[in-house]
Amino acid sequence: MPDKAILIPAALLVVWTMVMAIWMAVDRVKTFTKAKIDINKAAPGARGVDLQKMLPPGSDWPAHNYMHLMEQPTVFYAAVVILSIGGPSGYDYGLAWAYLVLRVVHSVYQAKINVVKIRGALFVVSTLVMLILSIRALLSVLN
Among residues 131, 111, 127, 88, which one has the least CA distance to residue 16? Answer: 111
Per-residue pLDDT at 44: 76
Tens-place pLDDT, residues 61-100: 999 999 999 999 999 999 999 999 999 999 999 999 999 9
How far apart CA 25 and CA 88 sit, in angstroms, is 36
Whole-prediction pTM value?
Answer: 0.92
Which CATH number fits the domain that encloses residue 27? 1.20.120
Per-residue pLDDT at 135: 98
Which band of pLDDT confidence, cut at 50, 70 and 90, is reported for residue 138?
A: very high
CB 133 within 8 A of CB 76: yes
Per-residue pLDDT at 109: 98
The answer, yes or no, to whether residue 17 has pLDDT greater than 80, is: yes
Specify the number of domains making up the chain: 1
What is the span of the domain harbouring residue 38?
Answer: 5-142
How far apart CA 77 and CA 86 sit, in angstroms, is 14
Q: What angle do CA 133, 17, 11 make, to 5 degrees?
A: 55
Per-residue pLDDT at 24: 95
69 φ, ψ (degrees, to nearest 5): -70, -10
Cβ-count burial of 107 within 10 angstroms (0-12 exposed, 13-18 middle, 19+ buried)?
buried
Tens-place pLDDT, residues 22-59: 999 999 899 888 888 887 777 777 777 777 777 888 88
